[in-house]
């Protein structure tokens, strides 16, 4: 694994632990010589994360739509900032460039980006690991919901197991290194109710 995509908030959130974790993850990526792929912003947790990687001598690839550059939220301190036309292109390029996906705390955009790459993994479109850094229980309600989808037979247990969850990003990256996707003949449950 060489490149890790991190989805996170364009705001810093209410809890200072979120900012501290973004800084910590940035330092870890740089130390492990993993290139950060992210949404290219200079605001919120996104900016904190990128600055932390750069501050520890690491590599960063930012991908941002022109419309957000026009709003002056692009990180101009990156050596590799790729400007695309749309959010769809942004997500596709980030996925193509990355060997795994992590979600730090964030809002609807973060959740949407993470769920999209998880869906692609479920469909067998890629075999890359997808994980949540559950800072201070931030993702507890999402985890409960995912377990609910399994009980209600909208999400197979094998696919639920594809969501790697750790409070410690070092442990999450260790799990990424040995990740093996489930081998299923079909991805859906066709049993009648």
- Domain containing residue 56: CATH number: 3.40.50.450
Tell me if 182 is assigned to some domain: no
Q: Is residue 193 part of a domain?
A: no
Identify the pLDDT of residue 193: 44
β-partners of residue 129 are none
Question: 7 vs 76, 151, 160, 182, CA distance in Å?
Answer: 19, 27, 19, 23
Residue 142's nearest CA partner among 126, 124, 155 is 155
Per-residue confidence at 61, pLDDT binned at 50, 70, 90?
Answer: very high
Show the domain range for 173. 3-177
Q: Does the pLDDT at position 30 exceed 60? A: yes
Is 190 part of a structural domain of the chain? no
Residue with tokens 């109710």: 193
pLDDT at 58 exceeding the cut of 90:
yes
| 185 located within any domain | no
**DSSP for 78-144?**
-SEEEEESSHHHHHHHHHHH-S-EEE-S--HHHHHHHHHHHHHHHTTS----EEEE-GGGTTHHHHH
Number of domains in the chain: 1
Q: Residue 44 domain-assigned?
A: yes
Any domain includes 55:
yes
Using DSSP's 3-state secondary structure scheme, residue 12 falls into coil
Q: Inform me whether the pLDDT recorded for 190 exceeds 90.
A: no
């Amino acid at each position: 694994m060489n490149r890790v995509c991190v989805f996170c908030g364009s705001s810093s959130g209410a809890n200072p632990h979120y900012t501290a974790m973004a800084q910590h993850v940035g330092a870890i990526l740089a130390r492990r010589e993993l290139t950060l792929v992210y949404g290219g912003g200079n605001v919120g947790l996104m900016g904190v994360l990128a600055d932390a990687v750069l501050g520890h001598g690491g590599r960063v690839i930012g991908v941002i739509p022109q419309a957000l550059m026009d709003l002056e939220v692009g990180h101009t301190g990156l050596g590799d900032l790729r400007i695309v036309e749309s959010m769809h292109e942004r997500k596709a390029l980030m996925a193509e460039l990355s060997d795994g996906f992590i979600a730090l705390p964030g809002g609807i955009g973060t959740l949407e980006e993470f769920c999209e790459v998880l869906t692609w993994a479920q469909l067998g479109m890629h075999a890359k690991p997808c994980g949540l850094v559950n800072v201070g229980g931030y993702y507890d309600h999402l985890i409960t919901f995912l377990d609910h989808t399994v009980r209600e037979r909208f999400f197979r247990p094998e696919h639920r197991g594809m969501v790697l969850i750790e409070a410690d990003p070092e442990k999450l990256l260790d799990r990424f290194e040995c990740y093996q996707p489930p081998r299923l003949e079909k991805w859906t449950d066709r049993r009648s109710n």
